[in-house]
Amino acid sequence: MKVSAKAEYACLAVIALARRGQDSPPVPIREISGTYGIPERYLVQILLQLKGAGLVASTRGASGGYQLARSAARISLGEILSAIDGPDEAPRDGVNGKRSSAAVLAPVWESVRQAEREVLDRTMVAELAAGGGPHDWTI
């Protein structure tokens, strides 16, 4: 599985917002950028994508910034990755009949992709914000 830098930054930004709590004042972009070393201009683009996906909300003004649009316990890593990088990639070329020698591997690769997706979908931001991680890493 390849996770883009943009997707990783998005995960870190959402975790930062979750650590503040949903009822806290909006977090300024500069604060998230400084804490995680994410260029501000890049972070703005990421947060706009997350906002479009309904994961974060923004507030304008001097005391503005971003906060989670819903509870961190209801936001999965899978949702964040999909919001940034889009849906899962299609199967590799050649697996669907073009290269019969690769067809034998297709079910294995699909099982691996499905297991990855299951881990990402059951890993909630609230767990990560609390300093923990998934307790069941079995794939």
CATH number at residue 80: 1.10.10.10
Contact 19, 129 (CB under 8 A): yes
Asked whether residue 21 is domain-assigned, the answer is yes
Asked whether residue 23 is domain-assigned, the answer is yes
119-122: long-range pairs with CB below 8 Å, 24+:
120/76, 120/77, 120/78, 120/81, 121/76, 121/77, 121/78, 121/79, 122/76
Q: What is the pLDDT of residue 103?
A: 87
76-99 tens-digit pLDDT = 999 999 999 987 665 555 445 556
Asked whether residue 100 is domain-assigned, the answer is no
Contact 34, 68 (CB under 8 A): no
pTM of the entire predicted model:
0.83
Q: How many domains does the chain have?
A: 1
Q: Structural domain of residue 60, as residue ranges? A: 5-86+124-129
Asked whether residue 63 is domain-assigned, the answer is yes
Q: What is the pLDDT of residue 47?
A: 97
Q: What is the pLDDT of residue 96?
A: 52
Asked whether residue 14 is domain-assigned, the answer is yes
